[in-house]
Amino acid sequence: MKIKSVICASIISLHLASVAFAQTVVNWGGNYIDINVPFSRDTTFSDTIPLNPTAPYAGTSSTFYGGAQLANTITGFKLNDSSIWTYATGVNGAMVAGVDRITFDWVGNYGGTTEGAVLWKKADFLGVDSSDTVVFDLSSTLSLNMPGSFVSIRFLVQDSGIYYVSSANTSTSGVFSLTDPNDNSEWTSYAPASNLDVNSSTAVFSPHLFTNVQAVGYYFEAKNLRMEGGL
């Protein structure tokens, strides 16, 4: 995955196992664009209408879904729907091919909390047919590269129609990976269409065995945002 500024996800690689074979099913990373490209719609969550940009954006696992919301904000602080970008940048803002990021922008002087989710659906999994049942095994790995360090990231999986968010999380920049998601994390059910927020202080996390993986991605949350920025 790739996440402007410091709230972003960069390359995501999801290696899962199906009934008959092991397969990397999501590989979002690389050089998709040469200039900043806006998303194709606003940030209202949807798992039926793609969020990703249209042309001139293209690449492996290019279709993704999701959305974002603001909470606990003051007047004048808002998501700036017209400037949500997938873009290529490098160290100190230098443009570098192949380092694209999925980004959500906000505007305003002060803010509270931004929450959201980005996901890839089974229909777009690499090397997977609609008739395949996708599951996790001991070698299955969820992995993403997070450039920023003031956002909390958790993995997101849809299993048999229900979304689950992992107890495993990070707020540190760099590669975040989870191997054997069945055994190495607990999970809480999640209804992003109703509310994108996961309240980790009240959420109940418990073991879960994934038997019919239909989407994979990540949940993000950033607090106490100030000035303009992105995630």
Range in 23-27, 99-103, 138-142, 208-212 the model is least confident about = 99-103
- Looking at residue 159, its pLDDT comes to 97
pLDDT above 70 coverage of the chain, percent: 68
Least confident of 30-44, 69-83, 123-137, 197-211: 69-83
CA atoms within 13 A on the CB side of 102: 34
Q: Which residue has the tokens 């990021």?
A: 101
Write the pLDDT tens digit of every residue in 34-76.
777 778 888 889 999 999 888 778 888 999 999 988 775 555 5
Residue 159 near residue 214 (C-beta atoms within 8 A): yes
Higher pLDDT, 49 or 90: 49
Which regions of 31-172 does DSSP assign to beta strands (E)? 37-38, 65-71, 78-79, 85-88, 100-103, 105-107, 113-121, 134-135, 141-146, 152-159, 162-170
* % of the chain surpassing 90 pLDDT: 32
Average pLDDT of every residue of the chain: 76
Choose among 26, 54, 43: nearest CA to 143: 26
Residue 22 is predicted with a pLDDT of: 66
Tell which residue, 17, 31, 70, has the closest CA to residue 216: 17
Residue 124, C-beta contacts closer than 8 angstroms, at least 6 positions apart? 61, 63
Q: Work out whether strand 22-28 and strand 12-18 pair parallel, antiparallel, or are unpaired.
A: antiparallel
**What is the average per-residue pLDDT within 85-103?**
61
